[in-house]
Every structure is written in C-alpha cells, then in structure tokens.
C-alpha cells in the first residue's frame, strides 16, 4: 500500500521488523559476524512480548522458554515464508553489515607473522646473527600500541640506526638528524626508538641493558655516538699510502720506522690526499682483533711489515672509518679474530660494516687450532657465523675458545707470504730502493 510518497512494507516484512524480534536479529548479527559456521543461537533472557514475537515468527503453539535455542534452519524457513530474503539479508537490513571476526583475526595474525618474519630475515639481523636474540625479544614484547604498522615503522628506524653505527663522533641529536631524516630528538633518552636501539646494542655486546642515564651515554659512546675525534683511535702498521695528506704522511713515517701508527678519528675523517697506487694491486690489508698480533708482526717484519690494522676488540668509529677508507681506495680487507663467542660476533660486525672477508676463520681453521691448543677456556655464548654455517657447531662441539695469540705463528706466516703488491703504497720486494 502506498500513502503519499511513503511505501509501507509488506505484511511479512512488517512482521520481521517487530520490536519483539530485535534481540533475535542482534544476537544473530553478533554470531554471524564471528566468521564461523552458525547452526543455532541461544537467546535471552526474553521478556513476554519478545517470547510472543518469536512464537509468532516460528509458528509455535505456545511461548518458548525465556532462554530459547533456535536453529538457523528453522529461522530460514520462517523468514522465507514471510519474505523473499535470507536470514543473512534480513539481519544485514535490520541491524547492519555483517563482519568477519575470524577472518579479521586471521588477517591480523598474518600481518604479525609477516612483521616478525621480515625482522628476522632483515639484512642487518642476518649479517649479525646475535641480533636474532634482539629480534626475538622484540617479538616477545609485542606490538607497539597494538599496531603492526607502528611497530614496523619503529623497527625500520631502529635498523636504520644500527646500520649507521658506529657513528662519526657526532652528538646524539646530530647523528639522529642525519640518519632519521631530520628528526634530531628521535633518539633522546627515554624515547621508544632509543630504548629499542640500546637494547640491540646491549645484545650485540652481550651486556645487560643500561639502567641509568650514565650507562646509556656510555653505550652510545661505545657505539661511536657522542665519541670525540681524539679519544677514538685505531692502530695500524705497514700502511704506505701515496699522497701528501696528513694520514698518508703519518702512516708512511711510522711504517718507515717500523712502528705502529695511532690514528685518531680526526685523521681518518680528514685524511687529505691518499691513494693506493694501481700499479701495486691487489692491495690486501689484514685486520686483527688483538694489538699483540700487530706488535708481533712489527717485531718480526719491522719497516717491511705488510699492511695490518688492529680493531682492539670491538672496533670503534675510527677503526671502521679507516677500514672503509682503505676499501674505498681499492684495498681488500681480510679479518681474523678470536675463536670465542664474542670474537665471532666482532667478526660478523666487522665483515658487515666494512666488506671485509674472513681470514682463517672457518670451522676447519678452528679445528686445526683446537688440535694444537686443546683445553682452553669455554667459548662463552656462541652465535652463528654468517660466513661459515659449520663454525658455531664446531665450537659448541669442542667447547673450547682459541684466542688469536695462540695462532699468531700461522697468521705471521701468512703475512710473510703476502705478495709484494699487498704492501700498500710500497715498492715490491727486490725493486730498487727501500724494501717494503
């Protein structure tokens, strides 16, 4: 029936819109929105008008219980008799669009799983396997504000910061602005990003997370941020770069005297003219973890010492910047360190930050060293070595650390056999002039 511009619903439709049936449609809406199969629904408690409306819909000869259970099949029959729509269509029309909570949960679970898989497989984490523990702690901590998107943004920033470490002896706000698109205060003390990065650094160095402001400043300094250009130094021997720049001149003078050069970060950041003559390629610079190896090499080779850089444990900003400078000038870097848990983590860090290659750091090298020097101290916490998947297992099997000094004779023999071209910037053996 039509009155004016309004169209009255058909009798069956009007019956479905009865106020007494509102609890039925709302309950159905909730259950159908679960995204799971629905065979029946339990209602109630219903008052008497609501029970009468349900009895009329289902064609019952008496009122149902105050908490009745109704099958979806019976409802479909009743709705079909009154209209040309299904139960789902009626519920949608009277209450609103149906949801899919199960599907939404699956989607959120997939998003979370994708986030943590992305973090675990990130290049920075894979290059330094110790960071897998940090990634696992991030997953255990859960989402930031319950949001996958916010968490991914925060982790992306943290990985950007970790990739830029060690820093360049900049104040923390300057470092943050350079790395994080001008956000100078993103790494201020107490920010979520600062906390996340410091937790990663603590994991990397295998120390407890910093608890005080002083400990946090010390950890940033260890990572080369807010470190000054004079206190950050790296020692090297046998470097003979060409050029009249300060770094090249200091390196050549020390090499000529058979001494190590203690180069500051200021030297490395402003080296002046420095080249590795192409005629002497390939340029090989050996890198060691412990100063004692450099001392032994200088004692043995004197002014003829092959190029050798020492990281003195975890490399600071001066060491990393020098190695990058040499690599940028065409040198091939070959790294050796201790065969213990921390030594493997340091090696992974150096290889990832400088494009160095391992030097006698395989599982076979470790087994050979253990055969000569059994009974050493335990290796400590062992993490995977990205360059050799067998090394961590070999160390766990033997349970013995082999410090670099114990294989010094092998390393020195390698240096003695280094080709003349590896004497960076020097003359080949047998050529006229000073040897080395």
DSSP 280-303: GPSEEEEEES-HHHHHHHHHHHGG
Residues of the domain holding 74: 2-99
Mean pLDDT of the chain: 90
Distance CA 173, CA 180 (A): 10
In this structure, is residue 399 part of a structural domain? yes
Mean pLDDT of 358-366: 98
Note whether 130 and 113 are same-domain residues.
Answer: yes
Note whether 264 and 207 are same-domain residues.
Answer: no
Note whether 248 and 331 are same-domain residues.
Answer: yes
Domain end call among 99, 123, 142:
99
Contact 259, 237 (CB under 8 A): yes
Contact 232, 265 (CB under 8 A): yes
In this structure, is residue 228 part of a structural domain? no
Note whether 283 and 412 are same-domain residues.
Answer: yes
In this structure, is residue 354 part of a structural domain? yes
Note whether 324 and 352 are same-domain residues.
Answer: yes
Mean pLDDT of 164-179: 91
- The HSE-up count of residue 102 (CA atoms within 13 Å, CB side) is 9
pLDDT at 13: 80
Contact 167, 175 (CB under 8 A): yes
The first and second tokens of residue 411, run together, are 């390393």
Kindly list the distances between the CA atom of residue 118 and the CA atoms of 107, 114, 155, 220, in Å, as whole numbers in the listed order.
16, 6, 10, 26
Per-residue pLDDT band at 375 (split at 50, 70, 90) = confident
Mean pLDDT of 30-46: 91
Domain end call among 61, 77, 99:
99
pLDDT at 432: 31
In this structure, is residue 290 part of a structural domain? yes
Region of poorest pLDDT, from 163-172, 270-279, 399-408: 270-279
pLDDT at 424: 47
Note whether 210 and 238 are same-domain residues.
Answer: no
Note whether 85 and 125 are same-domain residues.
Answer: no
Distance CA 335, CA 353 (A): 12
Mean pLDDT of 369-374: 92
Note whether 16 and 163 are same-domain residues.
Answer: no
Contact 357, 332 (CB under 8 A): yes
In this structure, is residue 432 part of a structural domain? no
Distance CA 301, CA 404 (A): 19
Domain end call among 99, 119, 153:
99
pLDDT at 10: 67
DSSP category for residue 421: G
Distance CA 382, CA 370 (A): 16
CATH number at residue 248: 3.40.1360
Distance CA 115, CA 143 (A): 10
Region of poorest pLDDT, from 229-233, 276-280, 329-333, 364-368: 276-280
pLDDT at 226: 79
- On the question of a cis peptide bond just before residue 54, with omega within 30 degrees of 0, the verdict is no
Distance CA 161, CA 155 (A): 10
In this structure, is residue 147 part of a structural domain? yes
**In percent, how much of the chain has pLDDT > 70?**
92
Single out the residue of 58, 96, 60 nearest to residue 77, CA to CA. 58
Per-residue pLDDT at 6 exceeds 80: no
Contacts of residue 33, defined as CB under 8 A and 6 or more positions apart, other chains included, come to 98, 99, 100, 101
Per-residue pLDDT at 428 exceeds 60: no
Contact 277, 425 (CB under 8 A): yes
pLDDT at 278: 62
Name the strand (E) or helix (H) holding 358. strand 357-358
Per-residue pLDDT at 282 exceeds 80: no
pLDDT at 2: 44
Note whether 75 and 108 are same-domain residues.
Answer: no
Mean pLDDT of 11-30: 89
DSSP secondary structure string for all residues of 300-347: HHGGGPPPEEE--SS--HHHHHHHHHHHHTTEEEEEE--BSHHHHHHH
Per-residue pLDDT at 12 exceeds 80: no
In this structure, is residue 427 part of a structural domain? no
Task: Quick: pLDDT tens for 225-256.
Answer: 976 678 889 999 999 999 999 999 999 999 99
The first and second tokens of residue 236, run together, are 């090297």
Per-residue pLDDT band at 223 (split at 50, 70, 90) = very high
Domain count, the chain: 3
Note whether 11 and 50 are same-domain residues.
Answer: yes
Note whether 362 and 311 are same-domain residues.
Answer: yes
Note whether 94 and 108 are same-domain residues.
Answer: no
pLDDT at 157: 97
**In percent, how much of the chain has pLDDT > 90?**
79
Region of poorest pLDDT, from 21-25, 48-52, 54-58, 104-108: 104-108
In this structure, is residue 58 part of a structural domain? yes
Per-residue pLDDT at 206 exceeds 50: yes
Distance CA 124, CA 160 (A): 9
Please tell me the pTM assigned to this model: 0.76
């Amino acid at each position: 029936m039509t009155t004016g511009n309004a169209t009255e619903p058909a009798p069956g439709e009007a019956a479905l819109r009865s106020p007494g049936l509102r609890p039925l449609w709302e309950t159905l809406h909730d259950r159908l929105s679960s995204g799971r199969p629905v065979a029946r629904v339990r209602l109630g408690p219903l008052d008497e008008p609501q029970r009468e409306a349900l009895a009329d819909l289902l064609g019952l000869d008496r009122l149902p219980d105050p908490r009745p259970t109704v099958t979806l099949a019976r409802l479909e029959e009743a709705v079909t008799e009154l209209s040309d729509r299904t139960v789902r269509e009626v519920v949608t029309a009277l209450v609103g669009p149906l949801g899919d909570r199960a599907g939404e949960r699956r989607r959120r679970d997939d998003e979370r799983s994708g986030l943590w898989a992305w973090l675990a497989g990130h290049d920075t984490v894979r290059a330094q396997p110790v960071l897998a523990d940090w990634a696992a702690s991030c997953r255990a901590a859960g989402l930031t504000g319950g949001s996958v998107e916010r968490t991914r943004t925060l982790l992306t920033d943290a990985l950007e910061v970790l990739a830029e470490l060690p820093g360049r002896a900049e104040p923390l706000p300057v470092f943050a602005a350079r790395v994080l698109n001008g956000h100078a205060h993103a790494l201020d003390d107490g920010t979520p990003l600062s906390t996340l990065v410091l937790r990663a650094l603590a994991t990397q160095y295998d120390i407890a997370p910093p608890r005080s402001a002083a400990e946090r400043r010390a950890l940033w300094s260890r990572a080369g941020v807010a470190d000054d250009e004079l206190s950050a130094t790296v020692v090297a021997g046998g470097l003979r770069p060409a050029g009249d720049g300060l770094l090249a001149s200091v390196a050549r003078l020390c090499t000529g005297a058979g001494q190590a050069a203690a180069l500051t970060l200021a030297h490395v950041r402003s080296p002046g003219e420095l080249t590795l003559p192409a005629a002497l390629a390939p340029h090989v610079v050996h890198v060691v973890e412990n100063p004692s190896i450099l001392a032994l090499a200088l004692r043995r080779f004197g002014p003829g010492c092959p190029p050798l850089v020492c990281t003195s444990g975890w490399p600071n900003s001066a060491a990393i910047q020098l190695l990058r400078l040499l690599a940028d000038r065409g040198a091939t870097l070959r790294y050796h360190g201790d065969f213990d848990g921390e030594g493997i983590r340091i090696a992974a860090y150096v290889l990832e930050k400088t494009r160095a290659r391992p030097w006698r750091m395989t599982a076979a090298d470790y087994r050979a060293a253990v055969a000569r020097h059994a009974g050493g101290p335990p290796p400590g916490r062992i993490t995977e070595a990205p360059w050799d998947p067998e090394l961590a297992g070999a160390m766990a099997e033997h349970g013995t650390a082999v410090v670099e000094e114990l294989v010094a004779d092998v390393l020195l023999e390698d240096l003695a056999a280094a080709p003349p071209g590896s004497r960076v910037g020097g003359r080949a053996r047998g050529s006229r002039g000073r040897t080395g």
